[in-house]
């Protein structure tokens, strides 16, 4: 396998389960449905279609889970990148509830698939999620708790600061909200597990097979690589932040924005000097930290976004500073690896799902909240294609809006810096 096809160095790549490599496409083949993109958007759609008896072929330019799907924080929880209050303002409470409930179903589907297909390497930890309040604002925490209970039936448990600080050994957090819904896992092994389930069920998965040309007009679509071609009745494009110029209309509708993560050395018993639970944790700021203890006693820590690339110098040290700002007792801990990756961000911060033309579908734009929502869009795509289900139109208000090109991307960075500054002003 060429270097271009290998995973970048990350905790997930270093601990990936063996097996699940797939051949490159060679020669001409036929499929009922061809999916372009081997991240979780494409993989989830493929598995949902295969579970409905459809014959699927999937093409991945590098390796399954190579992009954001295999490099993220590993949090699986309901909701979208866009806040629910903002969604209510756009589409109303009833439709927002329907979409939110679908994300809850999708999260449970991910967990069920891990068990159903024996994806032991996904290492799911049914831990729940803890939101630590960065400022001394107990009424704000309780207000959000009441909003989620009243509007969506989600029961957050309010934790006073004494309880938060018994789990997170830091003076940085005040009060908190906890919900037992949600888990964290090894996303790359999950992606590889989905691809293995596809092959075991008779679907075809091709790696190291970048698509060079799409001929999408007419009843038979042709998806070409340098070494082969797939003729299909239906094509799904699910490339996310790594789409390049393959489909310009889709590329113009997202901003590829990088985020960053690191993993410490194994801490053993020392982990308990900082974290005494197994929860996925994030804080209440706009520019928040997100992190979790790993099963081998490392800490995986993520933070930040940037338009300046996924491989910034000093990433490890920047992330270390964020960790030490919360847990100064870990100042001398070794950082074993740090990495970045591109997310696909639409202007409206909602998944983009629909048809470009008859028989040509797309799924992208998860904005850093894709572990559950990719399963959601996979189910909506599969039910639309296989059953004529029109629930995918729930996402119709969030279309392929132009992001403004380079100017829009630069503006996004300026907005991020502004919110960082406001977080700093507020402490």
Give backbone dihedrals phi and psi of 269, rounded to 5 degrees, phi first. Answer: -65, -20
How do residues 45-58 score in pLDDT, each as one tens digit?
A: 999 999 999 999 99
- pLDDT at position 313 is 78
Q: Which of 148-152, 191-195, 271-275, 305-309 has the lowest mean pLDDT?
A: 305-309
How do residues 202-242 score in pLDDT, each as one tens digit?
A: 999 999 999 999 999 999 999 999 999 999 999 999 999 89
List Cα–Cα distances, 204 to 1, 10, 24, 193, in angstroms.
Answer: 18, 27, 11, 14
Cα–Cα–Cα angle for 67, 70, 75, rounded to 5 degrees: 125
Neighbour count for residue 177 (Cβ, 10 Å): 20
- pLDDT at position 4 is 44
- pLDDT at position 423 is 67
How do residues 15-63 score in pLDDT, each as one tens digit?
A: 999 877 899 999 999 999 999 999 999 999 999 999 999 999 999 999 9
**% of the chain at pLDDT higher than 70:** 96
Tokens read off for 221: 């679509």
- Kindly provide the b/e burial profile for residues 381-403, where b requires at least 16 CB atoms within 10 angstroms of the residue's own CB: bbbbbbeeeeebebbeebebeeb
Q: Is 391 a member of any domain?
A: yes
Q: Is 341 a member of any domain?
A: no
By C-alpha distance, which of 195, 237, 240 is closest to 81? Answer: 240
The CATH number linked to 206 is 3.50.50.60
Looking at the structure of the chain, the number of domains it has is 1
How do residues 341-384 score in pLDDT, each as one tens digit?
A: 998 999 999 999 999 999 999 999 999 888 999 999 999 999 99
Q: Find the length of the chain.
A: 427
Domain hosting 390: range is: 3-72+188-253+348-402
411 pLDDT band, cuts 50/70/90, is: confident
């Amino acid at each position: 396998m060429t270097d271009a096809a290998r995973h970048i160095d990350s905790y997930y790549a270093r601990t990936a389960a063996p097996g699940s490599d797939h051949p490159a496409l060679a020669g001409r083949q036929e499929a009922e449905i061809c999916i372009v993109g081997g991240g979780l958007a494409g993989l989830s759609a493929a598995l949902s279609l295969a579970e409905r008896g459809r014959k699927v072929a999937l093409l991945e330019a590098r390796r399954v889970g190579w992009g954001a799907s295999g490099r993220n924080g590993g949090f699986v929880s309901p909701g979208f990148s866009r806040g629910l209050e903002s969604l209510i303002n756009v589409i109303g409470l009833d439709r927002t509830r329907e979409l939110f409930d679908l994300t809850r179903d999708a999260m449970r589907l991910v967990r069920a698939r891990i068990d159903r297909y024996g994806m032991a390497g996904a290492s799911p930890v049914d831990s729940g999620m803890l939101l630590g309040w960065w400022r001394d604002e107990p009424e704000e925490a309780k207000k959000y708790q009441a909003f989620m209970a009243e509007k969506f039936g989600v029961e957050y448990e309010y934790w006073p600061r004494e309880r938060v600080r018994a789990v997170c050994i830091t003076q940085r957090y005040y009060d908190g909200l906890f919900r037992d819904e949600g888990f964290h896992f090894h996303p790359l092994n999950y992606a590889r597990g989905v691809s293995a389930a596809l092959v075991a069920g008779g679907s075809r998965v091709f790696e190291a097979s970048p698509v060079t040309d799409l001929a999408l007009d007419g009843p038979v679509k042709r998806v070409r690589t340098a070494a082969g071609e797939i003729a299909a009745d239906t094509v799904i494009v699910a490339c996310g932040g790594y789409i390049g110029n393959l489909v310009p209309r889709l590329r113009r509708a997202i901003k590829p924005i990088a985020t960053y993560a690191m993993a410490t050395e194994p801490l053993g018993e020392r982990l308990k000097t900082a974290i005494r639970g197994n929860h996925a944790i994030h804080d209440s700021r706009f520019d928040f930290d997100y992190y979790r203890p790993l099963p081998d006693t490392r800490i995986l820590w993520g933070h930040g976004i940037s338009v300046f690339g996924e491989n910034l110098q000093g990433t490890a040290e920047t992330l270390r500073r964020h960790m030490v700002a919360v847990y100064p007792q870990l100042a001398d801990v070794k950082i074993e690896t740090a990495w970045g990756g591109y997310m696909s961000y639409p202007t409206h911060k909602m998944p983009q799902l629909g048809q470009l033309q008859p028989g040509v579908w797309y799924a992208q734009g998860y904005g850093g909240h894709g572990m559950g929502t990719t399963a959601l869009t996979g189910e909506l795509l599969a039910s639309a294609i296989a059953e004529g289900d029109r629930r995918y139109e729930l996402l119709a208000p969030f279309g392929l809006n132009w992001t403004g090109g380079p100017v829009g991307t630069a503006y996004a960075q300026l907005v991020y810096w502004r919110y960082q500054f406001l977080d700093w002003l507020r402490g």
